[in-house]
Amino acid sequence: MTRTPEIGLIGLGTMGANLALNIAEAGHVIAVFNRTSDRTRRFVEGAGPLADRIVPAETLNAFVDGLARPRRILLMVPAGAPVDEQIAALRPLLDTGDILIDGGNSDWQDSAARAESLQRDGLGYLGLGVSGGAEGARHGPSMMAGGAPEAYAAVGPILDDIAARFDATPCVAWLGHGGAGHFVKAVHNGIEYADMQMIAEVYGLMRDGQRRPDAEIAQVFGRWNAGPLESYLIEITAEVAGTTDPETGKPILSLIRDRAGQKGTGRWTVMDAQRRAAPLPAVEAAVTARVLSGEDAWRSAGARLFPQPKRAIALPDDNFERALLAGKILAYSQGFALLARAARDEGWDMSLAMVAQIWRAGCIIRSGLLDEMADALAQDGPDSLLAFAPGFARRLQDGVPALRRVVAEATLAGVPVPALSAALGHFDQLRQARGTANLIQGLRDRFGAHGFERLDRPGETGLHGPWGDA
């Protein structure tokens, strides 16, 4: 006999459908609703034995009325206006204490506004970042929750049951009020952009700078996945690079157009970092590279006007491996520094170590390094850079010379490595106790009387140079 649904889900696209099956497989009865009834029926028909725990609804009223109280409703609809429209449709049907959970890639500021608005009506709200793609949604994602803690307490047991696990620990956590969960998911995606861009740059160095076939490159990435670079993205890079197109017999990568899409989370992360004056150069470079990948006409014209230098890159694979590892550490360090800045600005009681822990399994950027990162972040203060933690500082001391060689050789050969270059530039700025901003301040004072501080007169501000007397 079918029990009363413990939770409801709206939106049976790929992610929503897989999460619904995951919830049912974990032993929970779930109600499902989609704006097109045909999709709802097809979903239940294809659910096999799990259909006994899935209660379909053809109208929104029937869906809401059938849920156990307090109602817990997971929204899996496109970010932006569709979320607001769905909330507006649900609002008159809900009672005090009911909870809405937005599991899409919403802007964290939208989530914060929704949480505040719904709270005024006595309704709970969670902004739930879900990472892991379709496979993760089906078999265990990493989830980042933000919103009212009492709402999380009501939903948490179900989320624990469906989350990915690392050493039996669920990869899900409440990270703060308002939009904290979706903010952490955006930073996760920003790091993902940088990670993928650096991997693609190393692939390009081997393909264009060393004329190596995709199958051979795949083997290299496969070897790396058994070492310090072990991660989901390195694993699937080896898979993708080694795949042959069944129709033509050619490497699949030789047939894929070099134009990368994006859904906006990387841009949001960069924009927020700029607003907070938090350095995020590796992610910025990766976002810019994706934008430029779409400018086919410019790139074709540039290839005709400015032919690439005919210079081979004579570097061993271990240089690429160490360079990629150094770049990865610097990108993560930048991302965690942004999270620390945002947590302080927004008053989120967020544990960076917990963020690293819930990223250890299920999510796209899961990596063998994250367990070590969680330990380092737990030991250091919130304002400490991950790059300065002893274990990662040692890795950078070993890897940055290789990163420097790779960037130098790529530059001389005319092979673009914008994210690796940005990571190296960031590292060099971090270790420069006295930089060149003194000249910038002098120039700003000369043309705009903006003032400066002097090393020989500490504590005094708004000082000016003798430009007017010249």
H/E element, 30: strand 30-33
User: 250 an active-site residue?
Assistant: no
Amino acid at 423: A
Strand 30-33 with 7-10, pairing? parallel
Q: Is the peptide bond before 228 cis (omega within 30 degrees of 0)?
A: no
Name which of 57, 51, 66 is nearest 34 in CA terms: 57
Q: How many CB atoms lie within 10 A of CB 291?
A: 13
- Measured distance CA(337)–CA(350) in Å, rounded: 12
450 annotated ligand-binding residue? yes
SS3 at position 10: strand
- Is 36 flagged in the annotation as binding? yes
189 is in an annotated binding site: yes
Q: How far is CA 88 from CA 60, 110, 356, in A?
A: 12, 14, 35
Is 34 known to sit in a ligand binding site? yes
Structure tokens at 275: 């607003």
Residues whose CB is less than 8 angstroms from the CB of residue 181 and which lie 6 or more positions away in sequence, other chains included = 108, 111, 126, 127, 128, 129, 143, 144, 145, 146, 147, 174, 175
| 173 in Cβ contact with 145 (< 8 Å) | yes
- Known binding residue 188? Answer is yes
Of 6, 192, 201, 321, which residue is the catalytic one?
Answer: 192
Residue 193, annotated as binding a ligand: yes
Catalytic residue among 85, 116, 185, 295: 185
Report the candidate in 289, 240, 238 with the shortest Cα–Cα distance to residue 262.
Answer: 289
310 a catalytic residue: no
Q: Residue 462, annotated ligand binder?
A: no
- Residue 36's nearest CA partner among 19, 22, 66, 16 is 16
Instruction: Confirm whether residue 170 is marked as ligand binding.
Output: no
72 annotated ligand binder: no
Query: Any binding-site annotation on 22?
Result: no
13 labelled binding-site residue:
yes
Annotation-wise, does 332 bind a ligand?
A: no
The pair phi, psi for residue 305, each rounded to 5°, is -75, -35
The reply, when asked if residue 3 is annotated as ligand binding, is: no
Q: Tell me whether residue 366 is annotated as binding.
A: no
Q: Is 48 annotated as a binding residue?
A: no
Helix (H, G, I), strand (E, B) or coil at 23: helix
Q: Does 131 count as an annotated binding residue? A: yes
Q: Give the three-class secondary structure for 9.
A: strand
79 annotated ligand-binding residue: yes
Catalytic sites, residue numbers: 185, 192
Q: Which residues are annotated as a binding site for NADP(+)?
A: 11-16, 34-36, 77-79, 105
* Binding site residue list: 11-16, 34-36, 77-79, 105, 131-133, 188-189, 193, 263, 290, 444, 450
Binding residue positions for substrate? 105, 131-133, 188-189, 193, 263, 290, 444, 450
